Amino acid sequence: MKINLPNQITIARLFLSIVFMALLARYEVIEERSKLLDGCAVLFIVAALTDWLDGYLARRSNQVTSLGRVLDPFVDKILVCGAFVLFLGPGFVNREGVNVTGIAPWMVIVIVGRELLVSGLRGFSESQGQSFGASMSGKAKMWLQSTTVPIVIFYVAHPAALRHNASVAWILPVMVWLTVVVTIVSVVSYLRRAKHILLEASLP
């Protein structure tokens, strides 16, 4: 079977995601390996940009496939959820026992839980013959998450930059909280869209 170009880009993004997570997992905040994090940020940004590229090419050339519809969101979840889970790892805990990312465990639970729930709703809806594409809140959620991850990485990699420019210190907590809030809003949006399908399926 020949894999078209958009799907080839998606598969390449999967490999980029794996390399990104492997490198991010090696980070130790006590060693201050800023170059490692800079490399991770570049990999993440490239991977996130290819998400837009493969979708654009698939629509423009009319090459939207069942493989792409399954693989593309799967890779997105691996990339984003993997990053947030790794941010809770011991490598991001300083000598005082504080996680330097500013991300709390419950926030990651919300982000990962949302992806599991929406994936389940999408799979169920499509099994009932109902389309369940991304909503505006879902797209905003993905954009925010894809922006917040490299911001977190930059702030951890270059803490001295914050000490010399305290006026930008607010960006990290604002982006983290905004990401969590929009993630929750997108869950409500998807639940409303799926409500009538779930109600119909529950009828005898």
User: 92 near 100, Cβ under 8 Å?
Assistant: yes
Report pLDDT for 187: 85
Which range has the worst mean pLDDT, 117-121, 131-135, 194-198?
A: 131-135
The conformational region for residue 32 under phi > 0 = left, psi -120 to 50 = alpha, else beta, is left
Residue 141 has pLDDT above 80, yes or no: yes
Domains and their CATH numbers in the chain: 5-202 (1.20.120.1760)
User: 122 near 70, Cβ under 8 Å?
Assistant: no
User: 39 near 21, Cβ under 8 Å?
Assistant: no
Report pLDDT for 61: 72
pLDDT tens digits for 43-53? 999 998 888 88
Which of the listed ranges 8-12, 124-128, 192-196 does the model predict with the highest average pLDDT?
8-12
pLDDT tens digits for 65-101? 666 677 888 888 899 999 999 999 999 998 899 999 9
Cα separation, 45 vs 39, in Å, equals 10
pLDDT tens digits for 12-41? 999 999 999 999 999 998 887 789 999 999
